């Protein structure tokens, strides 16, 4: 196996980790006003992801940095062709972080309600656009002989890409609802579980259509196996949620995202960005890669630092593993909320 293949796999792993971990973050944000009947409920929901959301975004930063260093041609073509979409994602991620921090800085219901709306919108946008982006990456975009994107924003908004966006939005929202049922207690836990069942009923057929459409365009036994694993895990997660097995439900929705992301990268290989104009114009793991020397240095750095990062993040999840309920939120609420990440 060549280093270019190793780094393609590592980038796939980084995106998988990001979608699994940030996926439930997005889901919690999307559901903030749906499950949060009052300010106390919403504070409970925010506190479930308070210690985790910023650490989860590290996976995105590392994935972007690894793509830039290992496959600079891929990075350049992505950011030139997907510039507006990625800018919207970046603005949403910034707005979401600001909203988490500023929500508790005001004393009025209107202030908190405004930032709640920001959290919802800035969770929906990336959850939707990541699916649109990856559907375009797998399906291909118009690249010319110089590997330059020659389309427009509307070029990226075709039915397959929009279906990909709806699929990720539903999967992440379902993942977030299951996470809330696992991390909360009391009435909000019951409502989160019931909502997860309804979301699962909608997510299963949509995801099935997207997986089938993708496989028909990129046939292969490994891809088919991964698609079946993703579908079975999603159905299993729905059944586990219905049975009240929250730990299994979360594990299976996470497995769904892992298998689906692996399916997309498997369908993509050996390309990293196919061209719809001419397959010869597409970017592959070979013609988009950095020099062997650069990849060798990156491999040694990754071998040393990756275990450290994984251990630290695992420790964080272990420390903040307990359930949160309304009893952890003082009533009446203090003038300023506890900082995000602390159980008030």
72 in a domain, yes or no? yes
Query: Is 337 a residue whose pLDDT tops 50?
Result: no
- In sequence order, which residues have a C-beta less than 8 Å from that of residue 226 and are 6 or more positions away? 259, 260, 262, 263, 266
Query: Is 341 a residue whose pLDDT tops 80?
Result: no
Residues present in the chain in total: 344
- pLDDT tens string 34-56: 998 888 899 999 999 988 888 88
333 in a domain, yes or no? no
Question: Distance between CA 142 and CA 121 in Å, rounded?
Answer: 30
343 in a domain, yes or no? no
Question: Distance between CA 331 and CA 248 in Å, rounded?
Answer: 33
18 in a domain, yes or no? yes
Query: Is 4 a residue whose pLDDT tops 90?
Result: yes
Query: Is 59 a residue whose pLDDT tops 80?
Result: yes
- pLDDT at residue 5, rounded to an integer: 93
- pLDDT at residue 331, rounded to an integer: 62
Under a CB-based contact definition with an 8 Å cutoff, are residues 102 and 83 in contact? no
Average pLDDT, the chain: 90
Question: Distance between CA 193 and CA 197 in Å, rounded?
Answer: 6
129 in a domain, yes or no? yes
- pLDDT at residue 88, rounded to an integer: 94
State the total domains in the chain. 1
The whole-number average pLDDT for the span 109-130 is: 94
- pLDDT at residue 181, rounded to an integer: 94
Query: Is 21 a residue whose pLDDT tops 80?
Result: yes
The structure tokens listed for 33 are 């006003």
Q: Taking phi first (over 0 means left), then psi (-120 to 50 degrees means alpha), and beta for anything else, what does residue 38 get?
A: beta
Query: Is 1 a residue whose pLDDT tops 80?
Result: no
332 in a domain, yes or no? no
pLDDT band of 336, cuts 50, 70, 90: very low
The structure tokens listed for 39 are 């300010």
The whole-number average pLDDT for the span 166-186 is: 95
The whole-number average pLDDT for the span 164-185 is: 96
- pLDDT tens string 215-231: 998 888 999 999 999 99
- pLDDT at residue 174, rounded to an integer: 97
Q: Which of 257, 55, 239 is nearest to 168 (CA)?
A: 257
Query: Is 335 a residue whose pLDDT tops 80?
Result: no
331 in a domain, yes or no? no
- pLDDT tens string 227-266: 999 999 999 999 999 998 999 999 999 999 999 999 999 9
- pLDDT tens string 122-163: 999 999 999 999 999 999 999 999 888 888 888 899 999 999
173 in a domain, yes or no? yes
- pLDDT at residue 225, rounded to an integer: 95
The boundaries of the domain holding residue 312 are 3-322
- pLDDT at residue 151, rounded to an integer: 82
- pLDDT at residue 338, rounded to an integer: 46
The neighbour count for residue 86, using CB atoms within 10 Å, is: 17
Residue with tokens 């308070």: 50
- pLDDT tens string 274-297: 999 999 999 999 999 999 999 999
């Amino acid at each position: 196996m060549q280093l270019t293949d190793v780094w393609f796999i590592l980038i796939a792993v980084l995106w998988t980790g990001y979608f699994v971990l940030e996926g439930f973050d997005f889901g919690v944000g999307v559901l903030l006003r749906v499950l949060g009947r009052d300010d106390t409920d919403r504070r409970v929901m925010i506190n479930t992801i308070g210690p985790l959301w910023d650490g989860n975004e590290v996976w995105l930063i590392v994935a972007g940095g690894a793509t830039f260093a290992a496959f600079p041609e891929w990075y350049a073509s992505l950011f030139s062709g997907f510039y507006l979409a990625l800018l919207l994602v970046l603005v949403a991620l910034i707005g979401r972080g600001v909203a988490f921090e500023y929500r508790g800085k005001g004393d009025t219901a209107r202030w908190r309600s405004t930032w709640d709306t920001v959290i919802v919108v800035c969770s929906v946008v990336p959850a939707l656009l990541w699916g649109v982006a990856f559907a375009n990456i797998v399906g291909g975009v118009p690249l010319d002989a110089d590997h330059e994107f020659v389309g427009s924003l509307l070029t990226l908004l075709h039915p397959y890409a929009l279906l990909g966006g709806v699929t990720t939005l539903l999967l992440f929202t379902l993942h977030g609802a299951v996470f809330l049922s696992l991390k909360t207690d009391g009435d909000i836990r019951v409502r989160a579980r019931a909502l997860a069942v309804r979301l699962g009923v909608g997510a299963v057929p949509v995801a099935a259509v997207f997986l089938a459409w993708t496989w028909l365009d990129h046939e292969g036994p490994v891809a088919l196996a991964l698609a079946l694993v993703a579908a079975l895990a999603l159905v299993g997660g729905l059944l586990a949620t219905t049975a009240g097995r929250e730990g299994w439900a979360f594990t299976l929705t996470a497995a769904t995202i892992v298998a689906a992301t692996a399916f997309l990268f498997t369908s993509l290989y050996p390309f990293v960005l196919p061209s719809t104009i001419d397959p010869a114009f597409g970017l592959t793991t070979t013609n988009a890669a950095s020099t062997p020397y650069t990849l060798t240095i990156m491999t040694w750095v990754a071998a040393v630092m990756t275990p450290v990062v994984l251990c630290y993040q695992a420790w964080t999840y272990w420390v903040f593993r307990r359930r949160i309920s309304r009893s952890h939120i003082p009533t009446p609420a203090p003038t300023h909320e506890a900082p995000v990440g602390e159980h008030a």
